């Protein structure tokens, strides 16, 4: 099995990597020390580490400290586990600093099209990635460089360089569809507390060409690096649901390949099975879908208000065809920025879920999965998680001139979201008759 590498290559200084004709912002030969960092030596190279902010321990500092230790010892994390540095990077209370430098040509390309990768010099918590690539992302959250774009970053898109605890990509979401400016971090923390398969999220502050772009949610990317930490085999196909994705003739093309070879055989087989005449849901699709996992995913969507994606709406989800499980599909949520955003509505649009509801045994299994998720949720101190998310992000938001909501609007939205989250378990029980 391939092992994930940590930061084994030296971290280079920006001045040593940029020539006079690179058209990037120059860095002084002897820059003044940044009072918010201290320098640690890893091998022969300097590594600038963020220090504690306003007297409060910053999990990003823990991340950088652990990264330096890993680099000294040259011990990459095990493929199937998260290193302490990885855990710290996605700690829901962590705040990271991400800086992107672009040449004029790259900036023009990024503004003009946005979906194509362009070269960039990126730093993450002072760790430098001279061969990175970036592009804008989003659909309803799509914004230009004059606004607050969501960004995807590949740390080695244009050449070799340092490794960041096995991370290949960084995904920064602008939260422009979330007036509470916290939904993704809270929802994904809850998913993992409930034992469901999901990514994670922390916080990040972004600069592009030394201009502050404010606070973002730092979402763990769904890619091969994520797969190898969750599965014994990570060479299967990972599919992303775009708008109208389903297991119908019209919906199959909307499943976009994210990782793998793109074999559509099992997608087509699932569509055929759902149109077949097998007497039970399990006989229809059990050889193609991990139905226990699908029901847990569906139940977790319901109890965390994540009803903006499949099977409620035909988007905002991923599926992984796990080779170690006969290629059966697992479901993974995506796009939590509208969690708890609408009145509770259990109605589904996806063909797979409708087939389950039509089968008495599957419907009973779903009720059991929802009850199990509710019981676990009600045993958690969810309000404390909400309070932590608010307290960490509040000082960041006060300095964010690009956020699309006034401070008063954010405060109102946060109070409403807190109340809605507190009331949600009772609402689920009432509406589903549980």
Write out pLDDT tens, residues 374-403.
999 999 999 999 999 999 999 999 989 999
Q: Are residues 159 and 276 in the same domain?
A: no
- 144 inside domain: yes
Instruction: Specify if 102 maps to a domain.
Output: yes
Instruction: Please tell me whether residues 19 and 168 are part of one structural domain.
Output: yes
Judgement on whether residues 18 and 163 belong to the same structural domain of the protein? yes
| 164 and 235 inside one domain | no
Q: 291-303 vs 407-432: helix axis angle to the nearest 10?
A: 130
Q: Is residue 396, in this structure, part of any structural domain at all?
A: no
Residue 54, in any domain of the structure: yes
Instruction: Based on the fold, state whether residues 255 and 341 are members of the same structural domain.
Output: yes
**Pair 264, 371 in one domain:** yes
Portion of the chain with pLDDT greater than 70, in percent: 81
Tell me, yes or no, whether 86 lies in a domain.
Answer: yes
Average pLDDT rounded to a whole number, residues 334-348: 87
User: How confident is the model over 5-15, as pLDDT tens digits?
Assistant: 332 233 322 23
Residues 22 and 170 occupy one common structural domain: yes
Q: Does the pLDDT value for residue 134 go beyond 90?
A: yes
Tokens 């973002």 -> residue: 216
- pLDDT at position 45 over 70: no
In degrees, rounded to 5, the angle at the alpha carbon of residue 383 between the alpha carbons of residues 379 and 386 is 130
Please report whether residue 31 resides in a domain: yes
18 and 152 fall within a common domain: yes
203 lies in some domain: no
Of 33-42, 51-60, 321-330, highest mean pLDDT:
321-330
- pLDDT of 39 > 90? The answer is no
Instruction: Using the 3D structure, point to which of 343, 360, 377 is the last residue of a domain.
Output: 377
Higher-confidence residue of 83 and 215: namely: 215
85 and 161 fall within a common domain? yes
CA distances from 151 to 91, 248, 423 (A): 20, 32, 34
399, with CB counted inside 10 A (0-12, 13-18, 19+), is exposed
Better-predicted residue by pLDDT, 219 or 44: 219
Assign 83 a pLDDT band (cuts: 50, 70, 90). Answer: low
SS (H, E, C) the chain: CCCCCCCCCCCCCHHHHCCCCCCCCCCCCCCCCCCCEEEEEECCEEEEEECCECCECCHHHHHHHHHHHHHHHCCCCCCCCCCHHHHHHCCCCCEEEEEEECCHHHHHHHHHCCCCCEEEEEEECCEEEEEEEEEEECCCCCCCCCCCCEEEEECCCCCCCCCECCECEEEEECCCCCCCCCHHHHHHHHHHHCCCCCCCEEEEEEEECCEEEEEEEEECCCCHHHHHHHCCCCCCCEEEECCCCCCCCCCHHHEEEEECCCCCHHHHHHHHHHCCCCCCHHHHHCCCECHHHHHHHHHHHHHCCCCCCCCCCCCCEEEEEEHHHCCEEEEEECCCCCCCCCCCCCCCCCHHHHHHHCCHHHHHHHHHHHHHHHHHHHCCCHHHHHHHHHHHHHHHHHCCCCCCCCHHHHHHHHHHHHHHHHHHHHHHHHHHCC
Higher pLDDT, 66 or 27: 66
| Pair 135, 115: CB distance under 8 Å | yes
Domain span holding position 123: 14-174
Check: pTM over 0.85? Answer yes or no: no
CA distance 174 to 201: 13
Query: What does the pLDDT read at residue 51?
Result: 39
- Six-digit token string for 403: 């956020």
Which of 133, 159, 174 is the last residue before a domain boundary? 174
CA distance 124 to 130: 11
Same-domain status, 162 and 22: yes
From 327, 343, 377, the end of a domain falls on 377
Residues 134 and 26 in one domain: yes
Kindly state the tokens that stand for 237.
């196909």
At residue 142, the pLDDT reads: 86
Structural domain total, the chain: 2
Is residue 252 in some structural domain?
yes
1-15, 30-44, 335-349: the lowest-pLDDT one: 1-15
169 and 85 part of one domain: yes
């Amino acid at each position: 099995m391939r092992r994930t590498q940590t930061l084994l290559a030296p971290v280079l200084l920006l001045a040593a990597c940029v020539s006079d004709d690179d058209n990037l912002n120059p860095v002084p030969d002897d820059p003044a020390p940044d009072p918010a960092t201290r320098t640690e030596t890893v091998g022969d190279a300097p590594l600038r580490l963020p220090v504690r902010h306003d007297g409060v321990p910053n999990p990003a500092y823990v991340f950088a400290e652990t990264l330096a230790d890993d680099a000294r010892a040259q011990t990459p994390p095990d493929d199937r586990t998260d290193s302490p540095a990885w855990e710290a990077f996605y700690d829901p209370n962590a705040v990271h600093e991400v800086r992107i430098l672009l040449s004029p040509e790259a900036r023009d390309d990024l503004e003009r099209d946005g979906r194509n990768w362009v070269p960039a010099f990126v730093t993450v918590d002072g760790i430098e990635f001279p061969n990175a690539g970036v592009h804008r992302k989003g659909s309803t959250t799509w914004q230009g460089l004059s606004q607050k774009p969501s960004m995807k970053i590949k740390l080695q898109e244009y050449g070799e360089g340092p490794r960041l605890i096995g991370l290949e990509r960084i995904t920064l979401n602008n939260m422009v569809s979330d007036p509470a400016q916290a939904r993704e971090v809270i929802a994904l923390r809850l998913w993992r507390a409930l034992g469901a398969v999901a990514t994670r999220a922390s916080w990040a502050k972004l600069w592009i060409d030394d201009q502050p772009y404010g606070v973002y949610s730092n979402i763990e990317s769904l890619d091969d690096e994520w797969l190898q930490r969750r599965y014994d085999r990570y060479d299967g196909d990972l599919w992303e649901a775009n708008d109208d994705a389903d297991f119908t003739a019209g919906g199959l093309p909307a499943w976009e390949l994210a990782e793998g070879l793109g074999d559509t055989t099992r997608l087509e087989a699932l569509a055929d099975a759902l149109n077949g005449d097998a007497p039970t849901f399990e006989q229809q699709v059990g050889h193609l879908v991990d139905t226990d996992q699908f029901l847990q995913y569906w139940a977790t969507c319901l109890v965390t208000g994540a009803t903006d994606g499949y099977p409620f709406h035909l988007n905002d989800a991923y599926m992984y065809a796990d080779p170690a499980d006969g290629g059966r599909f697992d479901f993974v949520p995506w796009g939590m920025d509208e969690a708890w955003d609408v009145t509770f509505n259990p109605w589904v649009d996806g063909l797979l879920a409708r087939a389950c509801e039509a089968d008495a045994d599957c419907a009973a299994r779903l009720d059991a999965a929802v009850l199990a998720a509710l019981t676990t949720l009600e045993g958690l101190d969810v309000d404390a998680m909400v309070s932590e998310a608010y307290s960490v992000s509040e000082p960041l938001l006060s300095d964010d001139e690009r956020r699309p909501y006034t401070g008063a609007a954010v405060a109102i939205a946060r109070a409403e979201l807190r109340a809605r989250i507190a009331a949600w378990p009772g609402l689920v029980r009432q509406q589903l008759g549980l």
